[in-house]
């Protein structure tokens, strides 16, 4: 009888604590560790060496080579050629800058998705080859989640991420074991929108930084603000209608240099207000007191300024990583790789295929 009671009690507690026991047994105790990160979701081939020591990350190198074009945008096959041509040089440079030897690397972390298939495939092939050749583990990570996780090196605890990049525009926050998307673009990414607008103006690729400069010039001489369509639908945003309007204006009107600068200013004021409206609502809904910016568009001087102001108004902390960690970069891939590895994750060769359409909320977060 006693045995039966003991057994039932044991079963009850075992069942109750199974997830904790399981996760504890999977956890790896890491004191000092070196990881090579590889980023290839789109235009950038990035390599970074990150040291993890006593719970702290130290990015020893973060090298990138970006595919640029005057016309035509990102042609997938040209992207893969670019990445194949530069991967060796970029990795060598990352190792040299970190003053580490390839044989000191203990983990390869690579961006497994989401992104452009042609580009992702090169990164995963390089990661697989290095892992097999060096006989070290590898880990495939989600690029969007990496933009969130890099904020830890700036002391962020539980931020809302405004991820504004070329292909992606999402407002992401951690909730109930996952990173959830609270709002996103219904059509094109904000960076793609800016680059397409820039292309119509003949600014080449990427147009985003040039539009930033032109808007600054306009602001410095009290720009004339034009009201443009403001597309916020629930928690989502949309840019394609605005793009069509701008394209038609550029085609049909003969705009002067000053008018173009004013238009760049008005476009920025409109689209960044849209992004920050949904971001602020996500912060209020989740009751989070930190905002972190991510993505290349977050390099924009006006978006930074408006984000700081919004956080000030609601008494929240605004974390803006250095530009090298806003754009597509391998430092954040290595940081997330180490976190996931420490939590017991690993990517076996047979599971290392790319996931071009992977969603942020597909990922089970077991490292927080
Ligand atoms: P990512 O895809 O995150 O690497 O970011 C690339 C995107 O960032 C491109 O669409 C660029 O036009 C955009 N971008 C970079 N710098 C700026 C800037 N200062 N202002 C606006 N967009 C920018
Ligand atoms: Mg990105």
Judge whether residue 138 has pLDDT over 90.
Answer: yes
The average pLDDT across 138-164 equals 97
Distance 166 CA to ligand 2 centre (A): 7
Place of tokens 């972190």: 292
Q: What is the pLDDT of residue 347?
A: 97
Q: What is the pLDDT of residue 219?
A: 96
Judge whether residue 171 has pLDDT over 90.
Answer: yes
The average pLDDT across 142-156 equals 96
Distance 328 CA to ligand 2 centre (A): 4
Residues 6+ apart with CB under 8 A from 265: 214, 215, 218, 219, 223, 225
The more confidently predicted of residues 346 and 26 is 346
Confidence of residue 25 (pLDDT cuts 50, 70, 90): very low
Q: What is the pLDDT of residue 2?
A: 52
Q: What is the pLDDT of residue 235?
A: 97
Q: In what order do the strands lie in the sheet with 290-294?
A: 178-184, 169-175, 160-164, 290-294, 317-319
Out of 16-20, 151-155, 227-231, 349-353, pick the least confident: 16-20
Q: Are 114 and 34 in contact (CB under 8 A)?
A: no
Judge whether residue 361 has pLDDT over 80.
Answer: yes
Confidence of residue 22 (pLDDT cuts 50, 70, 90): very low
Cα–Cα distance measured from residue 282 to residue 231, given in angstroms and rounded to the nearest whole number: 17
Confidence of residue 28 (pLDDT cuts 50, 70, 90): confident
Residues 270-279 pLDDT 10s: 999 999 999 9
Distance 17 CA to ligand 2 centre (A): 38
Judge whether residue 46 has pLDDT over 90.
Answer: yes
Whose Cα sits closest to atom 2 in ligand 1?
166
Judge whether residue 331 has pLDDT over 60.
Answer: yes
The closest ligand to the CA of 146 turns out to be: 2
User: pTM of the entire structure?
Assistant: 0.90
Whose Cα sits closest to atom 16 in ligand 1?
209
Backbone phi, then psi, for 135, in 5-degree steps? 55, 50
Residues 196-239 pLDDT 10s: 999 999 988 789 999 999 999 999 999 999 999 999 999 999 99
Q: What percent of the chain has pLDDT over 70?
A: 92
- Cis peptide bond N-terminal to 2, omega within 30: no
Find, among 41, 138, 44, 36, the residue nearest to 86 by Cα.
Answer: 44
Of 46, 67, 208, the one to substitute when testing ligand 1's pocket (max ligand atoms within 8 A of C-beta) is: 208
Distance 299 CA to ligand 1 centre (A): 7
Q: Which two tokens stand for residue 49?
A: 């060496």
Judge whether residue 56 has pLDDT over 60.
Answer: yes
Of 46, 62, 116, 166, the one to substitute when testing ligand 1's pocket (max ligand atoms within 8 A of C-beta) is: 166
Residues 6+ apart with CB under 8 A from 104: 34
Confidence of residue 72 (pLDDT cuts 50, 70, 90): low
Which residues have C-beta atoms less than 6 Å from ligand 1?
A: 42, 165-166, 191, 194-195, 206-209, 212, 295-297, 299-300, 327-328
User: H-helix or E-strand containing 276?
Assistant: helix 257-286
The beta-strand segments (E) located in the chain are 32-39, 44-53, 56-66, 107-113, 138-142, 160-164, 169-175, 178-184, 232-233, 236-237, 290-294, 317-319
The average pLDDT across 19-37 equals 71
Residues 76-124 pLDDT 10s: 888 999 999 999 999 999 999 999 999 999 999 999 999 999 999 999 9
Find, among 313, 309, 301, the residue nearest to 265 by Cα.
Answer: 301
Q: What is the pLDDT of residue 7?
A: 46
DSSP 61: E
Confidence of residue 69 (pLDDT cuts 50, 70, 90): confident
Whose Cα sits closest to atom 21 in ligand 1?
208
Distance 126 CA to ligand 2 centre (A): 19
Distance 292 CA to ligand 1 centre (A): 16
């Amino acid at each position: 009888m006693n045995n039966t009671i003991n057994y039932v009690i044991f079963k009850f507690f075992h069942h109750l604590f199974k997830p904790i026991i399981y996760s504890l047994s999977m956890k790896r105790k890491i004191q000092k560790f070196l990881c090579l990160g590889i980023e290839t979701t789109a235009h950038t081939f990035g390599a970074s060496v990150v040291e993890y020591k006593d719970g702290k990350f130290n990015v020893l190198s973060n090298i990138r080579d970006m595919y640029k074009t005057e016309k035509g945008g990102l042609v997938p096959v040209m992207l893969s050629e670019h990445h194949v041509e530069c991967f060796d040089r970029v990795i060598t440079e990352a190792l040299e800058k970190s003053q580490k030897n390839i044989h000191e690397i203990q983990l390869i972390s690579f961006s497994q998705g989401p992104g452009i298939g042609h580009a992702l495939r090169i990164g995963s092939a390089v990661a697989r080859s290095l892992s097999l050749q060096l006989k070290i583990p590898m880990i495939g990570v989600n690029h969007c989640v990496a933009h969130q996780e890099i904020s830890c090196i700036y002391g962020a605890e539980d931020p809302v991420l405004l991820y504004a990049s070329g292909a992606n525009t999402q407002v992401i926050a951690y909730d109930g074991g996952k990173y959830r998307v609270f709002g996103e673009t219904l059509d094109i990414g904000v960076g793609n929108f800016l680059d397409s607008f820039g292309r119509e103006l003949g600014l080449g690729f990427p147009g985003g930084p040039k539009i930033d400069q032109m808007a600054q010039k306009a602001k410095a001489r009290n720009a004339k603000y034009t009201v443009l369509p403001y597309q916020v639908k629930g928690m989502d945003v949309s840019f394609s209608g605005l793009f069509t309007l701008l394209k038609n204006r550029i085609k049909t009107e003969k705009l002067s240099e000053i008018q173009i600068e004013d238009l760049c200013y008005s476009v920025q004021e409109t689209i960044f207000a849209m992004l920050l409206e949904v971001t602020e609502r996500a912060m209020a809904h989740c009751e989070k007191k930190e905002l972190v910016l991510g993505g290349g568009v977050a390099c924009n001087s006006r978006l930074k300024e408006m984000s700081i102001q919004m956080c000030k108004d609601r008494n929240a902390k605004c974390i803006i990583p250095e530009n090298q960690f806003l754009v597509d970069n391998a430092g954040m891939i290595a940081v997330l790789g180490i976190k996931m590895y420490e939590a017991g994750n690993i990517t076996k060769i047979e599971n290392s295929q790319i996931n071009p359409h992977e969603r942020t909320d597909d990922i089970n977060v077991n490292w927080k």
